[in-house]
A and B are shown apart, each in its own frame.
Chain A
């Protein structure tokens, strides 16, 4: 680690001003990812601006009946909060399936959205990586790529986004609130993260100095069911090979709202829009689920070690839809 200054921000304005003033300053929240990156030499800021004392730790109902989640709310508090458990079950399940109890006690909403890939070549600084060192090449493309992307990847980068929480928020149509010294703006969670293209070093559409302050979730109509299922190589404390977040409502035997997102398949939470289009207005049936999943995944491109993810994604999606439509029919 190179030496760095540390500043504890007292208010949001001074936090964003401090980072705007110094191109090598970064925000520090829970630190579960950033401190690891400092140790690994992946990043070398000259100042950390600690935002954990900012008044951004509330979970509040919005006037329209949704939920506003402050950026510094801890993952464990969010997963356990009654409104999330009762109204946004998929989000609670996604959070609880991520990391461990100790990490969830530190990790924050804003930080989790900005969690960086676990690609081993990104984390090992002696190997080429376009995400860490632009222009050096992608070691994973022809390396060990069992955990890598099958949707939306490019020859520049095949890394996947690691957050479970973000996948649930993408399916729940969350909106991210962002603040900088230039003002405030909102970004749908589905548009926060980028596909790699030629610029895989840019994980998100955030500009330098922009601070996530909150995430809004819209209300879900009565009779909406949500789920999060994560498939991994051990029972707990592992990143997803494939995950599925789902929001579903059945009315008179017909699916009238369905929103789905995959984790573990792409550089961002992958909204399964093709599946959604095919299922909206359809009668729940195993064959319909399968055909819709196959249409979505026809765009998938496997690498040497990860072809298994394509049928795994199809089957996981089918299982989630089967469970939710059964639950809705009860």
Chain B
């Protein structure tokens, strides 16, 4: 059952007709050739497909594309470009926060979303006093990034990169 969907992907308007069963992740990768978001577990457990949907980090594998009509999608490709990468991307490179690189686009999008959440004053499970605004300590970063798994175990460098990106 095909339905027309208009998406604003990384600053470009894309119109596509999708089967109602198509996830945002498959719509991006298979129909629009936007391959920055990666298909890892495809069940919301690994974070490799993380994109920013209308500015918020979400898992593209658990969202149906048909529900995203007229939405703005930012993938790791749209965070910056090779000439001027996003500060998070630059920090990941400088700190070697990527090994095989498969989880990296999801980590980058998740980190950008996470930094906005922290800037808005959102607490996390490790924030203690929920009434105070939080400082993004290493413990806070680890908790807030826990939805992104890295099988290479690059976590120490990812945390170091994000600590720098905050500064």
Binding site for B on A (CB under 8 A): 1, 3-6, 8, 28, 31-32, 35-36, 38-40, 48, 50, 52, 76, 79-80, 85-86, 89, 92-93, 96-97, 99-103, 105-106, 235-237
Nearest to A96 among chain B residues (CB) is: B125
Q: Is B63 an interface residue (CB 8 A)?
A: yes
Pair B19/A3 contact, Cβ less than 8 Å: yes
Q: How far is the CA of A52 from the CA of B145 in the complex (A)?
A: 26
Q: How far is the CB of A50 from chain B (nearest CB, A)?
A: 6
Residues of B within 8 A of A (CB): 1, 3, 19-21, 23, 42-44, 47, 50, 56-59, 62-64, 66-67, 110, 113-114, 117, 120-125, 127, 130-131, 142-148
Closest 8 CB pairs of A and B: A100-B147, A236-B146, A80-B122, A96-B125, A85-B130, A237-B146, A6-B20, A1-B21
Instruction: Say yes or no: A86 contacts B131, CB within 8 Å.
Output: yes
- Bound Cα distance from A80 to B117, whole angstroms: 9
Q: By the criterion CB–CB under 8 Å, are B50 and A89 in contact?
A: no
- Report the separation of the CA atoms of residues A194 and B3 in the bound assembly, to the nearest whole angstrom: 38
Which of A4, A31, A39, A237 is within 8 Å of B20, CB to CB? A4
Shortest Cβ distance from B154 into chain A, in angstroms? 17
Q: A1-B21, A3-B1, A35-B23 are in contact. Are A106 and B147 (CB under 8 A)?
A: no
Task: Provide the residues of chain B in CB contact with A92, threshold 8 Å.
Answer: 123, 130
Cβ of A59 to closest chain B Cβ, rounded Å: 14
Given contacts A35-B63, A92-B130, contact A102 B122 (CB under 8 A): no
Q: Which residues of B have CB within 8 Å of A39? A: 42-43
Find out whether the CB atom of B117 lies under 8 angstroms from the CB atom of A76: yes
Q: Please determine whether B63 and A106 come into contact, CB atoms closer than 8 angstroms.
A: yes
Identify which of A3, A86, A100, A106 contacts B21 (C-beta below 8 A): A3
Other contacts beyond A103-B62, A235-B142: 19, CB < 8 A: A1-B21, A6-B1, A8-B67, A32-B62, A40-B43, A48-B20, A76-B122, A80-B120, A92-B130, A96-B125, A99-B147, A100-B147, A101-B113, A101-B145, A101-B147, A102-B50, A102-B57, A106-B63, A237-B146
